[in-house]
Chains A and B, each alone.
Chain A
Amino acid sequence: MASIAEAKPLPVRPRVNRFLKSEALTGYSLISPAVFLMLVLLAYPFALAVYISLTDRILGEPGKLIWFRNFIKLLQDSLFLQTVWNSFIYTTSTVLLKMILGIILALLLNQEIPCRNLVRGALLLPWIVPTSLSVLTWLWMFDSLFSVVNHILLGLGLITRKIPWLGDPFWAMVSVIIVNTWRGLPFFAISFLAGLMTIPRELYEAAETDGARGFRKFWHITLPLLQPVIAVVVLFSTIWTFADFQIVYILTHGGPINATQIFATMAYDVALVAGRIGEGSAISLFLFPALLFAIILMLRYLRRD
């Protein structure tokens, strides 16, 4: 008996040994804590979100499976359709604004300016500071009675009547767009600046000897070489803006009359304020196709390089 037991593992051992010494074991053991955490707290909740969205769960009751009825109901709901539209407007206009202003700002920062680091640091501030707290400041700046923005604009003679920033559907959307642009612009500008710094000077010198000037240099050299950075930044920002919550939640709470309601704020209201958890999960999941689309686009882009 004993001799068999001793003899048998022999052919296996070299393989086990090789595995123990191999990079695979080190690899798996070093990433396992991270993977475990992500499975329990990201993958599992995601699966749960899909399941809950197929039920009519409300706060305190497990609910039963109703398959796609939440989604069908939502697609017939005019409030939800308005949310889709609002999210679309909010995302495209802020991303476009941040992109254009970001390029301009990066071009300015790429020149020789006094106190360069201080200026860069100051410009990054909106992006660093807790959004919920800085948005509170904007809420105060847009206050219906004490709005300092109106105070300044009136003082400069740019407007003749107070703008009802948060009280009017149109201006409320303008307000959240301004604040989102304010918050996200530094990320765009600094990323673009990093991209600009990698463009070799010789290219511009060569273009100058060929007679190219200001705008043509920008159009034919800067923009094409900056394009990969622009693509990545725009994609990231599109996803994050699409799923944004705090700015709208604090500034307008989705109002007035749902004029600024976007996916995340509506999901919060439906699931956690009204308690219709199944329906709320379904709203959140509408973010998923957008995310998936972005990921596929990104992967294609990375593979091409």
Chain B
Amino acid sequence: MRRKHLRILKRIFGLYLPLAAFLFFALFPFYWMLLSSFKSNPELYNLRAKRLWIKSPTLEQFQELFKKTAILHWLWNSFFVSFLTSFISMTLGVMAGYVLARLKFPGAQAFGLATFITYLVPTTLIFIPLASVVQSFGLSNSIWSLVVTYPTFLIPFCTWMLIAYFKSIPKNMEECAMIDGCSRIGAMVRIVLPMAIPGVVFSAMFSFTLSWNEFVYALTFISSTVHKTMSVAVPTELIRGDAYFWGELMAASLIGSVPVALLYSFFMDYFVSGLTTGALKG
């Protein structure tokens, strides 16, 4: 009997309490975001109210947001850029990843290495000259500047991920197909690609998330209100001078966070398996 008690105590103090602390740390900001976006201004700024709860939920902040700001433009820009860039990077990543995982040709190893190195290059290292490159293409202050630049960090990521995935697929399947008369590309599209679906979905999804969240390039290349993406527009357009409209800011942050959170809750299983197999094999 005592031993059983001891075991339960050990489980509570050794597992549940610390885990609860971690969960609180991770989730409290989201709770606060949610709470703040459904409060009316008088309740939001009332220090005597029960601050960790909400008395009269209201959609005021959201109404203000849609009425007064270009949030629909920002959402559309984010969707457009993220969708297009993850599609482009996915396609080029599948091609490059397959080649580097399977084919032997002079320079293949060097390209693999280059992929890895470019994967590590932070965007803040080159954002200043990239701004002038983008300008010389006539793309500054347009979302196309993001469409062309985001693949520079997405392709290395997708390629690196997919090399690991393709390598985990047995070679003899496609060799059989090639003996039966399939071309190399045919074997890749018909045999290997279907088997690599989890890796492909994971890379595409993660690319979408990375584009959706990107900040430095979007901040540097785009200045007009209507061309901004969510991640940049909310902190730059909704803070006017010294005035912080916290209700609106939190409502907008919530709207900007929900799409990726949803995307990722639908594909949760792909996500965890992708993270746990692909990311660390390199």
Contacts from A to B (Cβ < 8 Å): 22-24, 26-28, 30-31, 33-35, 37-38, 40-42, 44-46, 48-49, 52, 101, 104-105, 108-109, 111, 113, 117, 119-126, 128-134, 136-138, 140-141, 143, 146, 148, 151-152, 182, 185-186, 190-191, 193-195, 197, 229, 232, 236, 239-240, 242-246, 249-250, 263-264, 267-268, 271-272, 277, 280-281, 284-285, 287-288, 291, 294-295, 298-299
Contact = CB atoms under 8 A, between A and B. Distances in A.
A272 B252 CA distance: 26
B229 to A, nearest CB: 9
Nearest to B89: A34
Nearest to B247: A140
A264 B256 contact: no
B256 A34 contact: no
Contacts of B279: 191, 194
Nearest to A280: B128
Interface string B50-72: 01100000000000000000000
B105 A125 contact: no
B223 to A, nearest CB: 11
A274 to B, nearest CB: 12
Given A128-B209, A137-B36, 14 more contacts: A24-B105, A30-B96, A34-B95, A34-B96, A38-B118, A42-B118, A117-B272, A129-B260, A132-B235, A134-B30, A136-B249, A137-B250, A244-B124, A295-B117
B216 A246 contact: yes
30 contacts: A23-B103, A26-B99, A28-B105, A30-B98, A31-B96, A42-B121, A42-B152, A45-B133, A104-B18, A105-B22, A113-B19, A117-B268, A122-B23, A130-B215, A132-B213, A134-B30, A140-B246, A141-B32, A143-B244, A148-B32, A182-B25, A182-B26, A185-B26, A232-B282, A236-B120, A243-B122, A243-B124, A245-B215, A245-B216, A287-B125
A22 B276 contact: no
A148 to B, nearest CB: 6
Nearest to A285: B125
Secondary structure type dominating chain A contacts = helix
Given A27-B108, A123-B22, A132-B231, A137 B253 contact: yes
A146 B47 contact: yes
Nearest to A272: B220
Contacts of B76: none
B15 interface: yes
B129 A49 contact: yes
Consensus secondary structure, chain B interface: helix
B280 A281 contact: no
B257 A267 contact: no
B234 to A, nearest CB: 6
A298 B96 CA distance: 22
B261 interface: yes
Interface in B180-215: 184-185, 209, 212-213, 215
Closest 5 CB pairs of A and B: A243-B122, A194-B276, A48-B129, A264-B124, A24-B105
Given A27-B108, A121-B268, A182-B26, A46 B124 contact: no
B15 A49 contact: no
B241 interface: no
A37 B106 CA distance: 21
A184 to B, nearest CB: 12
B148 interface: yes
A250 B239 CA distance: 11
Tell me which of B123, B212, B272 has the highest count of chain A C-beta atoms within 10 A of its own C-beta. B272
Interface in B82-139: 92-93, 95-96, 98-100, 103-106, 108, 111, 113-114, 116-118, 120-133
Bin the interface of chain B by size: 35 or more
A246 B264 contact: no
A126 B33 CA distance: 12
Contact of B184 (A26, A151, A288): A26
Contacts of B42: none
B276 A190 contact: yes
B125 A131 contact: no
Contacts of A148: 32, 51-52
Nearest to B33: A137
Contact of A141 (B29, B131, B148, B271): B29
Given A34-B159, A134-B257, A45 B26 contact: no
Question: Among B126, B159, B209, which residue has the most Cβ atoms of chain A within 10 A?
Answer: B126
A34 B92 contact: yes
B27 interface: yes
Nearest to A281: B128
B103 A108 contact: no
A260 to B, nearest CB: 15
Contacts of A130: 212-213, 215, 230-231, 256-257, 260
